[in-house]
Amino acid sequence: MRALMGLIKDRHGTYYAQQKVPERLQAAVARYLGNGKPKQVYQKKSLGTKDLRTANVRAKPVLAGFDRVLREAAALQAPKSTPALRTSLNAAEIARMSEALYGKLLADDEASRFGGRARVAEGVEWIRRNENPDFQLPYPIESVREHGWHPEILAIQREHMVHELATMQEALALGDITAVEDDVALLLADFEINLDRKSVAYRENLGRRHCGHTCGRCKQ
């Protein structure tokens, strides 16, 4: 069984649901949650289990709740300018969203690959300060080169990508759109598009996102 997108494990093996908050909504989400933080970069919640099957079941309503927080925070941020509900997307909008996500993934990869030890150390410190004080890297920080990746880190990343590809291919074969709903929700929020989840366009957009994970056709 494969883990749903948005599931992570801590160093004790307990599963968490996690969702990145779009930058433009981070302050609004923090205010909505009333946690005293200036901004909320991630929404995160423990699923209270180390069993993957149980975690997958528990994660779906939690992730749906994260999406609801995004929508309500956006409404609080701009209650008079909430985009009208739409039932369609044009080809240009889909292309722009696909390219925006593709560019972000490339930028994140470049930052982690060429940031070196200092970048990794900063990331670990941020996670411990803001999310999980017990967070530990799966490899020693000393193994990170001053510039670029150590071969062992590349091996870990390769294993992760193989697992993610298999997960997305299986979800695509099953028609399981929940595997990419997080990505699509973030894109729609970033582009300020309020798309009806019951519309054909919503399902088609998620289908294109599936394809982007597995073969990249939606960018052609």
Boundaries of every domain in the chain: 1-82, 84-220
pLDDT digit string (tens) for 133-170? 777 776 677 777 777 777 777 777 788 788 778 888 88
| DSSP structure string for 59-111 | HHHHHHHHHHHHHHHHHHHSTT-PPPEES---HHHHHHHHHHHHHHHHHHHHH
The mean per-residue pLDDT over the stretch 96-112 comes to: 80
Nearest-10 crossing angle of helices 91-114, 200-214: 30
| Number of other CB atoms surrounding residue 171 within 10 Å | 20
Angstrom distance (rounded) from CA 191 to CA 98: 11
Strand arrangement, sheet containing 15-20 = 7-9, 15-20, 42-46
DSSP label of 2:
P
Query: At residue 20, what is the residue type?
Result: K
Identify the bridge partners of residue 8 per DSSP, sorted by sequence position.
16
For residue 65, the model assigns a pLDDT of: 84
Query: Is pLDDT above 50 for 182?
Result: yes
Three-state DSSP at 43 gives strand
Band of the pLDDT at 216, cuts 50, 70, 90?
very low
Q: What DSSP designation does 22 have?
A: P
pTM: 0.51
- Give per-residue pLDDT as tens, 22-51: 888 899 888 888 778 888 999 988 888 888
Does pLDDT of 130 surpass 70?
A: no
Task: Specify the higher pLDDT residue, 217 or 164.
Answer: 164
Q: Give the Cα separation of 12 and 134 in Å (integer).
A: 9
d(CA 140, CA 206): 37
- Angstrom distance (rounded) from CA 94 to CA 90: 6
3-state secondary structure of 8: strand
DSSP assignment letter at 50: S
Tell me: pLDDT of 3 over 80.
Answer: no
